[in-house]
A and B are shown apart, each in its own frame.
Chain A
Amino acid sequence: MTEASVARLDNVSLVYGKTHALDGVGLEVPARRMVGLIGPDGVGKSSLLALVAGARQIQQGSVQVLGGDMADQHHRRAVCPRIAYMPQGLGRNLYPTLTVLENLEFFARLFGQARAERRWRIDELTRSTGLHPFLDRPAGKLSGGMKQKLGLCCALIHDPDLLILDEPTTGVDPLSRNQFWELIERIRADRPQMSVLVATAYMDEAQRFDHLVAMDAGHILATGTPDELLARTASSNLEEAFIRLLPEAKRSHHKALEIPPRRASEEVAIEAHGLTMRFGDFVAVDRVNFRIERGEIFGFLGSNGCGKTTTMKMLTGLLPASAGEALLFGKPVDPHDLLTRQRVGYMSQAFSLYSELSVLQNLEMHARLFHLPAQRREMRIREMLERFELEDEVDSLPDRLPLGVRQRLSLAVAVIHQPEILILDEPTSGVDPIARDGFWELLVQLSREEGVTIFISTHFMNEALRCDRISLMHAGKVLDSDTPQALMDKRGLPTLEATFIAYLEDALAEAGEEQPGATAATPPARVAASREQHARFSLRRLLSYSRRESMELRRDPVRALLAMLGTVLLMFIMGYGVSFDVENLSYAVLDRDQTTTSQSYLLNIAGSRYFTEKAPLTSHAELDRRLRSGEISLAIEIPPGFGRDLKRGDHPQIAFWIDGAMPVRADTIQGYVQGLHASYLQELAREAGVDSAQPAEVAIRYRYNPDVQSLPAMVPAMIPILLMMIPAMLTALGVVREKELGSITNFYVTPTTRLEFLLGKQLPYIALAMVNFFTMVLLAVFLMGIPLSGSLLTLSLGALLYVTCSTGLGLLMSSILSSQIAAIFGTAIATLLPAIQFSGLTHPVSALEGASAFIGGLYPTSHFLTISRGVFSKALGAGDLLPSFVPLLVAIPLLTLASVAGLRKQEK
């Protein structure tokens, strides 16, 4: 690699299932330049960027970045502090519940910056991006443009040499987009040594870049400066140039879009009067009015978070308006009116079809739910497949399809029932130019030929120009609304983009929001980066993960509260609820003797606190029936002539029928019956003056719990069980949730090791579990009156080791499983059964056999149960309990290692 290139790819291929995302790509990325990747979606731009950033595993070929091979783990570790990567999607790498400041601090800490440096950098970055006034706002509540700026700040916090941005401005309004690129330019002016690699779908942006790489279908079409590409293709703009670069077969599909004029219609399809939506104090939509005629294409322009989506949801009846009203076909929107829904098609912003169903299955399900008659259904589905060019993808799963194709499917689904109104929320966001034109062709057809009213929101100015009328929206308010030409004329500006920016600037000035100021031109004095950056293990990085995790836990008080109150509540329920003192067993008597002798025998049983007598039995059939129904669990039959036989010394027999369906209870009953019978015999003997006493006695001493109370026996056992299940469930979603929501990328591309990541996540939950533990011990001792006979220190030490195990078990589940449902289910399976049945709660582990004995012997709960009972009831010290401490000490590193092994440091 020469000095002049920052990254070089040789013959790189990447395959997902059957899709070739990259096919033998060779590319040299010049250093100190702003290099743009352009091309439609699904051509491999994101994959290429992820490979260069080290976020994705290399399958084939070589990727050299900053002078080393990215397949080499050591090189990756060494260079990742010099690379910054901002993945695709608004705020994908941010933590939505943390504030702007906290997000920035987290990243700063990861790169080992000391407090002073951190402060200075955050101040610098937020001032230059205009984020400074919003330091305390949670990232999730920022608008799209601000989220992207924050993402950029997070990426720039460690002065990277290579900045990788994957479609950073998709879904951002034109003003913010402008500001974003100005910001990048200023930063590059400050740090000319930095190379920037950007993917974008906006061709007008690509014009700014130094060097362009045009991609299609996993191949590179052309590279060069924008002017070179224009000259080579003899085009006037890049959009055109790109289309000319495409292979013949693809180009032939494309033709310039023409929109026939609309015939005016008297009928009003959609109408809104003072439509308002409030969420608490926040006004999302503020007194919006519009009136849309039948067959009109009505565009909604505005940044993310300006209220477009909320307005659309109110129109569909998904959200009830706080004030004002919306009318469809002259009737107020009624969420319960199923007939109106038949006339409306809705396509939401995010892809919201079932990713588990194939293309055909999705179409079929929707057709059926709209109750198209069987014959028409098939015809209509075929028609849709043809019209939206989905025939080749009938059996594909939506997730495997490029975004453009997915959007076509979404639209097909939205129109399958031939609605009269289409509400489309940013349907073309992130879709490449050719696919967008194709999409619009369909819309025009629907509007002009079928008279469908289309209400559409978009970020693309060229799309807005195609609308019959547009509304410009900002911060919940409609700024103006007219035909695109009329709006431009009003401002006297040549382009719609400039017009919109002018409107936005006016609105911002009115609201008095701070504009991003110019940066102090002083280049950031580079504070010496700490050596820790390259260390194999850094406590600082570990702790910054702990800090973040505990902040997120604090932002979700319901979860922490559930964990705390839940444990306490359960300890009470279980402590008092589980007992082995079986009382009030119901029984009935079939007394076929009916003499005073038989009655005195029965009196002996009726007087016992263990039994409750039910109505007497009259026959064997009744005995059988009542035993069968479970109404009685014991039946006693006294034979005819019992009294007489007893007097004669004929040894009469009394029959006891015990319900054996529940063996534990049957055993107890058997014991009680024998005891009562023995005491009757003694009584009898005393009356007769005979010495019937046993030849020897057994004196029973119940140790550790002389009064044989259930509470002191149960509570020390409940503490370990609860400390297994709740902490494990708390950590179980820690990693898998980041996988599902996307913030896991931060872990892939920062110098954090797997061990730091996992331990960092585990620490806050260990702390929470220890708080739980102390609360339970306090309650047990002071409220439930259970003496703690041993040392609290020993017990706490055991608990600390134990909760490390239980949180470790949850993390293990989280590391190896890939969906949240599976993680919840897996954790429930891995904790409930072994902790309750195999760990000695009801039966000692030594009494188990087979698989359960094996599990019971290994499972941490068994050992902490011994410690807990030992300290609570037996006053044992750490020395006595050593054999129980050892397995816990062994389990901790084993669990952690298993989690480390199960977690990937790169996406596969």
Chain B
Amino acid sequence: MRALGNILQLGLKELRSLYRDPALVVLIVYSFTLAIYSSATAIPEAPHRATIAVVDEDRSPVSQRLLNAFQLPYFVPPVYIDHAQMDSGMDDGRYTFTLNIPPGFQEDLLAGRRPAIQLNVDATQVSQAFTGAGHIQQIIASEVAEFAQRYRSVAALPVETVVRTAFNPNLTRAWFGAVNEVVNQITMLAMILTGAALIREREHGTIEHLLVMPVTPIEIMLGKVWAMGLVVLAAASFSLAVVVRGWLDIPLQGSLALFIGACALHLFATTSMGIFFGTVARSMPQLGLLTILVMIPLHILSGGVTPRESMPELVQQVMLVAPTTHFVQLSQAILFRSAGLDIVWPQFLAVAAIGAAFFAAALGRLRKSLQ
């Protein structure tokens, strides 16, 4: 009872401090509104506005037909160029794709000589290169087949495929992007707010003041955890309800309550991490660097930017230690696949375990660093 009272008081103090730092409040609001919006709308559909140029040496109806097939929003209208421009254009990164339609393409096609079109792909444009090349191949195949069909019969396929994408039928990138950004902001804020709050208390000497009172380190920590957690949780819930659902008009199917529960658990883990880094860093400049060094891998490797399946086994294993990895999985499952607790309990457990580990480590270090 005593301890609970202390924890409540210590948390209230954190909230009051935050209220007095308007610049910080503005940054928090920004990161859960505009940042989410711009990030969600940034991620293009694949391929989206891909740049393509054509060296058309055939100038035949079929080549014309092919070119007309590349349309917005997938492709910006193709540009006609010659061989020399093809190289320089790709070097400059002006075109990600160039097509070379050889002379006599239509003639060869109709004669059944199976002519070849050369497709050059700028492999440095990683993701667009791979998915885009597949799309271009398909477009060419179907256009050519249709054209050829008018002149000679092509047999129907013996086996047909029906592909359905569950949970996001049109694979709209913004759906995933928005939620993923919310996850990122939650992690970043929770870590910076608690870590910096701890270092500020140390730099201003207020922590000593607390320690001569009948207050234990664990109460000091829990006070920060609940207060900062609550702020971020409120901001994240607002963001999901108003920015993601309202402004971005993304249908979130699953239970929002379950997701908020998951958020709370994740915040326990990330605020504990924040305090842990606050005890590792000796000064604000060190904390700043440490934050960046931890945030980059969390941002890129937890499965939000590229699928986990694409990472080497070792990285996948190591990233299991990061709470974000599980939280990304959780939020996908809950918000898009409407998964219930019966399905996502292993991730809940994992986040709780990681949180507890960081909490224990932070508490140990806090006790030590204060002496």
Contacts and interface: CB of A to CB of B under 8 A. Distances in A.
B31 interface: yes
Interface residues of B, number: 150
Interface centre among B21, B184, B208 (most CB of A within 10 A): B208
B165 A660 contact: yes
Contacts of A662: 176, 303, 307, 332
B189 to A, nearest CB: 8
Contacts of A657: 164-166
Contacts of B292: 566, 725-726, 729, 828, 831-832
A583 interface: yes
Interface string B159-174: 1111111111101110
Interface string B129-171: 1110110111011001100100000111111111111111101
A824 interface: yes
B357 interface: no
B296 A725 contact: yes
Given A665-B309, A666-B165, A729-B288, A829 B31 contact: yes
Contact of B343 (A356, A629, A716, A817): A629
A671 B131 contact: yes
A846 B51 contact: yes
A870 B17 contact: no
Interface string B260-296: 0000000000000000000000111111111111011
Interface residues of A, number: 159
B365 to A, nearest CB: 16
8 contacts: A318-B370, A653-B160, A654-B160, A662-B176, A671-B131, A832-B184, A843-B44, A852-B41
A852 B39 contact: yes
Contacts of B305: 578, 836, 842
Contacts of A852: 38-39, 41-42
A556 B168 CA distance: 50
B289 A844 contact: no
Contacts of A856: 42
Contacts of B123: 702-706, 708, 713, 873
Given A664-B46, A828-B292, A737 B284 contact: yes
Given A656-B164, A837-B43, A700 B119 contact: yes
Contact of B159 (A354, A646, A831): A646
Contacts of A652: 159-160
Contact of B315 (A577, A699, A837, A851): A577
Interface in A365-387: 365-366, 368-371
A486 B141 CA distance: 107
B47 A847 contact: yes
Given A369-B6, A577-B301, A658-B165, A692 B109 contact: no
A9 interface: no
A266 interface: no
Interface string A328-366: 000000011011011010101010111111000100011
Contacts of B48: 843, 847
A584 interface: yes
B160 A630 contact: no
Interface string B17-54: 10111011001001100010111011110111111000
Interface stretch (A105-113, A211-219, A677-685): A677-685
Contacts of B46: 663-664, 667
Nearest to A565: B293
A117 interface: no
Given A658-B163, A869-B124, A697 B284 contact: no
Contacts of A585: 309
Interface string A178-204: 000000000000000000000000000
Contacts of B121: 700-703
Contact of B116 (A601, A655, A697): A697
Given A665-B307, A716-B124, A866-B93, A628 B214 contact: no
Q: What are the 10 tightest A-B residue pairs by CB atom distance, in nearest-first order? A: A852-B42, A660-B168, A705-B123, A660-B165, A338-B214, A352-B205, A661-B336, A356-B20, A665-B307, A356-B17
B212 A817 contact: no
A696 B176 contact: no
B284 A649 contact: no
Nearest to B50: A847
B53 to A, nearest CB: 13
Nearest to B44: A847
B145 A694 contact: yes
Nearest to A654: B161
A317 B370 CA distance: 11
B215 interface: yes
Given A341-B212, A684-B159, A704-B122, 20 more contacts: A318-B370, A356-B19, A357-B13, A361-B16, A371-B2, A628-B333, A651-B156, A655-B161, A656-B164, A657-B165, A663-B172, A701-B118, A703-B121, A705-B123, A733-B288, A818-B23, A828-B292, A829-B27, A831-B292, A876-B91
Nearest to A339: B214
A353 B164 contact: no
Interface of B: 2, 5-6, 9-10, 12-13, 16-17, 19-21, 23-24, 27, 30-31, 35, 37-39, 41-44, 46-51, 76, 88, 90-93, 96, 105, 109, 112, 114-131, 133-134, 136-138, 140-141, 144-145, 148, 154-169, 171-173, 175-176, 181, 184, 188-189, 192-193, 196-197, 200, 203-206, 208-216, 282-293, 295-297, 299-301, 303, 305-307, 309-312, 315, 329, 332-333, 336-339, 343-344, 370-371
A741 to B, nearest CB: 9
A730 interface: yes
Contacts of B193: 821
Contact of A699 (B76, B118, B200): B118
A843 B337 contact: no
A371 B112 contact: no
A824 B288 contact: yes
A685 B155 CA distance: 11
Contact of B131 (A659, A668, A725): A668
Contact of B306 (A317, A579, A726): A579
Interface string A546-566: 000000000010110011001
Contacts of B171: 660, 663, 666-667
Contacts of B307: 582, 662, 664-665, 668
Contact of B39 (A348, A368, A833): A833
Interface in A726-748: 726, 729-730, 732-733, 737, 740
Given A653-B161, A654-B160, A847-B48, A578 B301 contact: yes
Interface string A859-894: 000000010011001101000100100000000000
A837 B121 CA distance: 22
Contacts of A821: 21, 24, 192-193, 196-197, 200, 284
B296 A570 contact: yes
A562 B288 CA distance: 11
A840 B169 CA distance: 26
A573 B263 CA distance: 27
Given A664-B306, A824-B288, A832-B296, A873 B124 contact: yes
B252 to A, nearest CB: 12
A161 B246 CA distance: 66
A528 interface: no
Contacts of B19: 356
Contacts of B370: 318
A578 B24 contact: no
Contact of B332 (A563, A661, A664, A701): A661
A296 B185 CA distance: 56
Contact of A559 (B138, B148, B289, B337): B289
| Most A Cβ at <10 Å: residue of B114, B213, B215 | B213
A824 B291 contact: yes
Q: Which of B38, B140, B329 has the most CB of A within 10 A?
A: B38
A583 B309 contact: yes
A368 B90 CA distance: 69
A820 interface: yes
